[in-house]
């Protein structure tokens, strides 16, 4: 008698067997023959999709036929595919040029790096082209660590930047933001290269405030007594946003809501002029102290 394919079911009640779906029975029999078979191999051998196999494993676990200790073996976690095998699987599809782009940054890919590419593509939904553009963007900014890639991929996914068109549009906006941040750095006499990514984004966002160089310099001088040698960008951001809000409220073109808007608007304009006068006096005192 040939016993190579012979399998004895574990002690299971008739009630459980009668309720077991056909796919679940197939999975259990296959695991009895090959306990260490990886999850993907089970899908391929039985011709089932991942959801069906997962449901089958969950059924046997809920009926205490497969224990928690059995589940990793059944799902293939105890015999994980190697980084080389995963890389080859990426190369086998249209994802190969994303792998090559990643290798230009990280060299021979480690398991963690391959897993990160898989996750960005399969779990976060980024297309191959979007991942290539993301890696190139990170190379341009010098943010090439694996952690930075993972955070950027998650950020893009949350923003809905998942295809080439959305990625190109987003990167174009970032380039304009960087250009403006470089102008700010030059105005302040700071090193753009020494600015962190957060500082560049913050300075780049000031373009929407329609600032003059004088406004930037004034905010810089105001921030100096409080930054104590640290980067002034974060403190300047508070000043510039607050000043922009005051200018908007004091503008004669600002919308007015009925009769109460006129006195309220006049009061805000008067307060704004007082603040400007106080700021001029403060800046003059700072200049005198510098001299």
- What the block records as the tokens of 105 is 């940054």
What is the pLDDT at residue 154?
92
Distance CA 233, CA 238 (A): 9
Q: 142 or 78: which carries more pLDDT confidence?
A: 142
Give the model confidence (pLDDT) of 233-286 as tens digits.
888 888 888 888 887 777 665 454 444 444 444 444 445 556 556 656 655 665
What is the pLDDT at residue 213?
81
Give the model confidence (pLDDT) of 178-201 as tens digits.
888 888 888 888 788 777 778 888
Give the model confidence (pLDDT) of 173-182 as tens digits.
888 888 888 8
153 within 8 A of 124, measured Cβ to Cβ: yes
Long-range contact pairs involving 287-291 (C-beta distance under 8 Å, separation at least 24) = none
For residue 127, how many other CB atoms are within 10 A of its CB? 20
Percent of the chain with pLDDT over 70: 72
> Which band of pLDDT confidence, cut at 50, 70 and 90, is reported for residue 158?
very high
CATH class, 83-162 region: mainly alpha
235 within 8 A of 202, measured Cβ to Cβ: no
Q: Which of 136, 227, 232, 143 is nearest to 193 (CA)?
A: 143
- Region 79-92 average pLDDT: 55
Distance CA 144, CA 106 (A): 8
Residues in the chain: 291
- What the block records as the tokens of 156 is 């893009």
The pTM score is 0.47
Distance CA 35, CA 74 (A): 7
What is the pLDDT at residue 94?
65
Query: By mean pLDDT, which of 42-51, 82-91, 147-156, 167-176 is the weakest?
Result: 82-91
For residue 4, how many other CB atoms are within 10 A of its CB? 5
CA distances from 114 to 23, 105, 117, 147, 230 (A): 31, 13, 5, 13, 38
Instruction: Return the domain boundaries, the chain.
Output: 14-75, 83-162, 172-290
């Amino acid at each position: 008698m040939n016993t190579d394919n012979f399998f004895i079911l574990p002690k299971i009640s008739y009630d459980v067997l009668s309720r077991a779906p056909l796919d679940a029975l197939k999975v259990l029999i296959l695991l009895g023959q090959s306990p260490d078979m990886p999850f993907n191999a089970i899908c391929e051998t039985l011709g089932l999709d991942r959801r069906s196999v997962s449901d089958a494993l969950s059924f046997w676990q809920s009926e205490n036929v497969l224990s928690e200790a059995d589940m990793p073996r059944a799902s293939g976690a105890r015999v994980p595919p190697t980084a080389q095998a995963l890389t080859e699987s990426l190369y086998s599809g249209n994802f190969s040029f994303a792998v090559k782009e990643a290798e230009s940054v990280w060299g021979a890919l480690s398991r963690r790096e391959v897993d990160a590419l898989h996750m960005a593509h399969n779990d976060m939904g980024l297309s191959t082209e979007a991942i290539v553009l993301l890696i190139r963007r990170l190379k341009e900014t010098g943010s090439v660590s694996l952690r930075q890639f993972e955070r950027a991929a998650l950020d893009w996914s949350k923003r809905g930047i998942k295809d080439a068109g959305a990625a190109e549009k987003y990167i174009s906006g970032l380039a304009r933001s960087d250009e403006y941040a470089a102008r700010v750095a030059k105005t302040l006499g700071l090193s753009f290269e020494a600015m962190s990514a957060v500082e560049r984004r913050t300075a780049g966002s000031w373009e929407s405030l329609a600032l003059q160089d004088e406004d930037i310099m004034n905010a810089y001088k105001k921030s100096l007594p409080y930054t104590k040698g640290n980067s002034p960008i974060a403190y300047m951001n508070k000043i510039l946003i607050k000043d922009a809000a005051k200018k908007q409220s004091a503008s004669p073109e600002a919308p007015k809501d009925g009769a109460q808007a006129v006195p309220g608007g006049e009061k805000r304009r008067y307060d704004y002029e007082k603040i400007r006068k106080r700021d001029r006096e403060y800046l003059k005192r700072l200049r005198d102290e510098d001299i």
